[in-house]
């Protein structure tokens, strides 16, 4: 049967699949075929047909030919349907590895034809440095004007993977900010950010237990409500961005203009 690797982070799943292909299946680089190819985010019908063609290749200098389908949940429906038979019954000299964030994101017929390898989900997905960075990013977005938000959306839209990582990290950091009990004040923050050239000074201030600026207009309860709203909207936007063909810049612009309103 084909092997489905789930859990962990995307890069971890890929590394695990490559390790299995090379160390367990003994497939050389020549006999290892990854889909989608470098530079593409998802597997389309053309890649599915190419995979089926390569599945019939006899291994050149390996025990097996290995087909690696990375993040199959992103593949088009047509591609997933086209690969179903191959996943169920690969040629005797061909091994199939699949990575996905979660089996629930794949069609049931594909899942039923695979054995599972579950990677552990790390307890702390973000380092302390990243938590601080993205917590400050949230604060910046609360205080930023329309121009800055549109500028951020334009930059993120250039790389879909980077945009997905950004949305995920902001979600984690919003939870971090809520649970850390920081006292955040919007109007004061806007003035603070305008005065500094980097996040370092603000980061140091936020680490102080008595962080407070007297003329702040936003109390902690209101901040928590806004962060919960942010988490919901960012999570919804991430699903749309990852699993549809909607213009990334349109999604990001609408999100960043709306989420803290």
Q: What is the pLDDT of residues 43-96, one digit of tens each?
A: 999 999 999 999 999 999 999 999 999 999 889 999 999 999 999 999 999 999
What pLDDT, in 10s, does the model give residues 209-254? 433 333 343 444 455 677 777 788 888 888 888 888 888 999 999 9
Give the three-state DSSP class for 126. Answer: coil
- Could you count the other beta carbons within 10 Å of the beta carbon of residue 81? 15
What is the pLDDT, as a whole number, of residue 233? 85
Specify the long-range contacts of residues 239-242, CB closer than 8 Å, at least 24 apart: 241/160, 241/163, 241/164, 241/167, 242/74, 242/164
pLDDT of 145 > 80? The answer is: no
**Residue 130 pLDDT level (bands cut at 50, 70, 90):** low
What pLDDT, in 10s, does the model give residues 21-38? 999 999 999 999 999 988
What is the pLDDT, as a whole number, of residue 104? 84
Choose between 85 and 192: higher pLDDT.
Answer: 85
What is the pLDDT, as a whole number, of residue 55? 95
What is the pLDDT, as a whole number, of residue 219? 45
What is the pLDDT, as a whole number, of residue 259? 58
As a whole number, the mean pLDDT across the chain is: 79
Nearest residue to 77 (alpha-carbon basis) of 45, 119, 31, 53: 45
What is the pLDDT, as a whole number, of residue 122? 59
d(CA 176, CA 27): 43
The pTM for the full model equals 0.55
**Residue 177 pLDDT level (bands cut at 50, 70, 90):** low
Domains identified in the chain and CATH numbers = 2-119 (3.40.50.300), 128-258 (no CATH)
d(CA 18, CA 68): 8
What is the pLDDT, as a whole number, of residue 121? 65
Nearest residue to 114 (alpha-carbon basis) of 139, 93, 89: 89
């Amino acid at each position: 049967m084909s092997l489905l690797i789930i859990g962990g982070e995307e890069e971890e799943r890929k590394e695990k699949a490559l390790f299995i292909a090379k160390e367990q299946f003994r497939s050389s680089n020549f006999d290892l075929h990854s889909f989608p190819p470098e530079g593409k985010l998802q597997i389309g019908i053309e890649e599915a047909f190419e995979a089926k063609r390569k599945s019939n290749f006899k291994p050149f200098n390996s025990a097996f030919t290995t087909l690696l389908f990375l993040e199959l949940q992103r593949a088009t429906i047509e591609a997933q349907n086209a690969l179903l038979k191959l996943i169920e019954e690969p040629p005797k000299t061909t091994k199939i590895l699949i990575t996905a964030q979660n089996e629930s994101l794949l069609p049931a017929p594909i899942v039923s034809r695979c054995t599972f390898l579950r990677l552990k989900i790390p307890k702390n997905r973000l380092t302390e440095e990243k938590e601080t960075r993205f917590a400050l990013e949230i604060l910046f977005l609360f205080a930023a004007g329309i121009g800055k938000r549109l500028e951020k959306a334009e930059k993120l839209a250039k790389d879909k993977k980077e945009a997905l990582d950004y949305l995920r990290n902001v979600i984690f950091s919003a939870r971090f900010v809520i649970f850390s009990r920081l006292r955040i004040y919007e109007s004061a923050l806007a003035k603070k950010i305008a005065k500094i050239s980097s996040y370092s000074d603000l980061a140091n201030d936020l680490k102080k237990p008595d962080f407070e600026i007297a003329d702040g207009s936003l109390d902690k309860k209101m901040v928590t409500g806004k962060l919960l709203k942010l988490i919901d909207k960012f999570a919804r936007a991430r699903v749309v961005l990852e699993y549809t063909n909607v213009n990334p810049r349109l999604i990001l612009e609408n999100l960043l203009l709306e989420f803290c309103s």
